[in-house]
Amino acid sequence: MALKRPSFLPSLDDLERQAEARSTQRGRPGSHFDHPTAKNVFIAVLVLTVLAHLVGGIVFVLFF
């Protein structure tokens, strides 16, 4: 017995059209991020990594 698709979900044809429309849109030239949250998370992780290395380097120089 096949499951019936709930009526509140978009049809597969609609999803396919949306995916095609998104694939034709290009981001700003020179931008590697499609989503602003992804860019913010990347920057935050980058800053934390640099700070951790700086603090680790200082601790290493002072105690070893």
Per-residue model confidence as pLDDT tens digits over 27-58: 667 677 778 898 899 999 999 999 999 999 99
What pLDDT does residue 40 have?
Answer: 94
Burial class (CB in 10 A: 0-12, 13-18, 19+), 43: exposed
What pLDDT does residue 54 have?
Answer: 98
> pTM to 2 decimals?
0.54
What pLDDT does residue 43 have?
Answer: 95
What pLDDT does residue 42 have?
Answer: 94
What pLDDT does residue 6 have?
Answer: 77
